[in-house]
Amino acid sequence: KEHSEKKHKDRDKLKHSNSSSDKHREKHKEKRKEEKVCSLLGKAFSVVDITFWYRGKIIFFMEINMKVLKFCFAQDFKENNPYFTAVVDNLFCFSLMGWILLSFVVIRWEEERYTDGSKWRFLEHKGPVFAPPYEPLPDKVRFYYDGKPMKLSAPAEEVATFFSKMLDHEYTTKDIFRKNFFKDWRKEMTSEEKSKITDLNKCDFTEMNEYFKAQSEARKQMSKEEKQKIKEENERLVQEYGFCIMDNHKERIGNFRIEPPGLFRGRGDHPKMGMLKRRIRPEDIIINCSKDSKHPKPPPGTKWKEVRHDNKVTWLASWTENIQGSIKYIMLNPSSRIKGEKDWQKYETARRLKKCVDRIRTQYRDDWKSKEMRIRQRAVALYFIDKLALRAGNEKEEGETADTVGCCSLRVEHVKLYPKMDDQEYVVEFDFLGKDSIRYYNKIPVEKRVFKNLQLFLENKQPEDDLFDRLNTSILNKHLQELMDGLTAKVFRTYNASITLQQQLKELTCPDDSIPAKILSYNRANRAVAILCNHQRAPPKTFEKSMQNLQTKIEEKQNQLSAARKQLKVAKSDHKASHDDKSKKAVEVKRKAVQRIEEQLMKLQVQATDREENKQIALGTSKLNYLDPRISVAWCKKWGVGIEKIYNKTQREKFAWAIDMAEKDYEF
């Protein structure tokens, strides 16, 4: 105590030795306090844009703040703690700052939209990152033609490397791929090379292929330092080119890197597979930004094709690719405000369909009896779109793409009718290639009137004739717009997918289930939607091996459980004999060990079941594109399942609007 008093006296002497008065010191203290508050507020407002996504977190910390204040008052700190006033002042100050900050924070998807069709007022970005220039192969890596080494010109060599990298892939065995590749490769050759290289079968790319395999293996064997250096360079590019400024928001860009040249693969048996995807240059690029922004600079010695200032669109750059003549875009990341708003609107449109779907179904059922054939065809097509979640089927030029069809473009050869099959009446068998050349095969019983109409549509037609010869996508879409503003086949698909998920979750979720069992129920509900939408995939190449590894883990865990149960039995016998605290404690430890191993075993078994059920089903497509994320978020909140168990980091960023918006009682 004496030491403390002496210390305070010495401190007071030191304070007054600089001849400053109490009044001056108080004034100086107040000034510093104001500067500190201003500094904090400045920092707070500089991160306002960051907090757009984290309003919930601000509220959470403010709630903790208030709980601390309550605790202070409850413990009567005023009497016991000389610093109570300062603590309470600071806590109140932080609470006030939090509320001020919240008053400025408007969640991005709640912001007022422009009414003139504009998507933005200000847009600034750095432009795209181009693929690195071609690096010629070392002299020791040679190309052989008809058994003899041959030095290729740089353009011809580059295209040859594209083929050599794919030697182990089945694409290079397909005739159409080889034919298209050779045709485009010859366009890059010199006249001398063209005269010599006339047969692809005489070309030997083996040394090239082995060189690229060695390069790939070398990358895997890189040291941590080398990998870190590459990571840092990639991060630098992301920071420089991966963001744009749109209306005072720093938005992430989705695909700021231009795709490198290569060989077109396509899906299914695409007629253009093997063709050369040419290198995209600055002269091919159209830049879109605001007039008053700092325009992106093209690489030295080049220029952009055009610089536009179109605020009615959201793309930042575009170019036309040479294979199909389609326009490619650099767009914002799915987590951006505009993308989030578009997603929200898509699901809200599907929700609107819920209010009028019964009326629409009644109408198309009435139209099955129409006197006009075109109306009957339209009604049956709409029935298939509704019941089977078929795509409408876009019109396309013959021979330009793979032979894929949708509902409106079905041909006679794609449909078979069975008055009775497997104890079911009026069965229709569908067998055709849908989007991405995925086979759609389904046998379904339909209503009698639909079956009779299909028989009528098939009369006097050849296998290659259209099933709906008086219907196309334009006619169908026009009719859908008349039924409901904004209605399309995709809206029907989204509606049926989301409704199916919601119903399946209600049926499959058991309140008493563990978290892993609930996740299995969620995946089963998701699988029902994927089957409805025909979202298939080939089983992963490593599927069998991974399942064997998982089965080995299950067997090991079962052995552990058996041993743990025996140990528990022995511990119980010891306790029965001695009745002391030590043996009682041992029983409790062994019991907990058994419970822990049982939980671990159940997780592994659930994982094995989940993998087996979904080996040929692509759950991600429907989850990202057709299922209202608010259904999943509400389900997670209702049953205490972490959202990270359902959505990965990228998906959580994409659906941040839904995570913020949906409560546990949300209904689609």
Whole-number Å distance between alpha carbons of 222 and 218: 6
Among residues 241, 364, 383, 626, the one annotated as catalytic is 626
- Give me the amino acid identity at 97: M
Whole-number Å distance between alpha carbons of 631 and 658: 9
- Is 626 assigned a catalytic role? yes
The structure tokens listed for 225 are: 């330092």
- For residue 305, the number of C-alpha atoms closer than 13 Å in the C-beta half-sphere is 13
Give me Rg for the CA atoms of the chain. 34
DSSP string, 110-152: GSPPPSSS-S-S-EE---PBPPPPP-PPPTTS-EEETTEEEPP
From residue 20, give the alpha-carbon distance in Å to each of 15, 35, 433: 8, 21, 89
DSSP string, 311-337: TT---SEEEE-TTT--EEEE-B-TTSH
For residue 277, report the phi and psi dihedrals to the nearest 5 degrees: -85, 110
- Give me the amino acid identity at 114: Y
The structure tokens listed for 583 are: 């043996």
Paired with 421 in beta bridges are 424
* Cα dihedral 292→240→252→222 (10° resolution): 170
> Terminal CA-to-CA distance of the chain, rounded, Å?
69
Measured in whole angstroms, the distance separating CA 414 from the mean position of its chain's CA atoms is 33
- For residue 199, the number of C-alpha atoms closer than 13 Å in the C-beta half-sphere is 5
**3-state DSSP call for residue 617?**
strand
- For residue 51, the number of C-alpha atoms closer than 13 Å in the C-beta half-sphere is 22
Whole-number Å distance between alpha carbons of 434 and 195: 42
For residue 317, report the phi and psi dihedrals to the nearest 5 degrees: -155, 155
558 burial class (0-12, 13-18, 19+ CB within 10 angstroms)?
middle
Q: Annotated catalytic sites, by residue?
A: 626
